[in-house]
Amino acid sequence: MSQITEENFRKIARNFKCRVEMMNKTPLEKLEKLFIEYYDYGIKNFIRTEKKKFPHKTMKEVVIRLYELHDKLKGRKRDSE
pLDDT tens string, the chain, 81 residues long: the values are 456 677 776 777 777 778 778 778 888 888 888 888 888 888 899 889 999 999 999 999 998 988 898 888 888 665 554
Q: Is there a domain that residue 70 lies in?
A: yes
Cβ(43)–Cβ(66) below 8 Å: yes
Position 22 scores a pLDDT of: 78
Total domains in the fold of the chain: 1
Residue 1: inside a domain: no
Report if residue 80 sits inside a domain: no
In a domain, 15, yes or no: yes
**Residue 79 lies inside a defined structural domain of this protein:** no
Residue 17: domain span: 6-74
3-class DSSP string for 2-50: CCCCHHHHHHHHHHHHHHHHHHHHCCHHHHHHHHHHHHHHHHHHHHHHH
The whole-angstrom separation of Cα 27 and Cα 65 is 35
81 belongs to a structural domain: no
What pTM was estimated for this model as a whole?
0.55
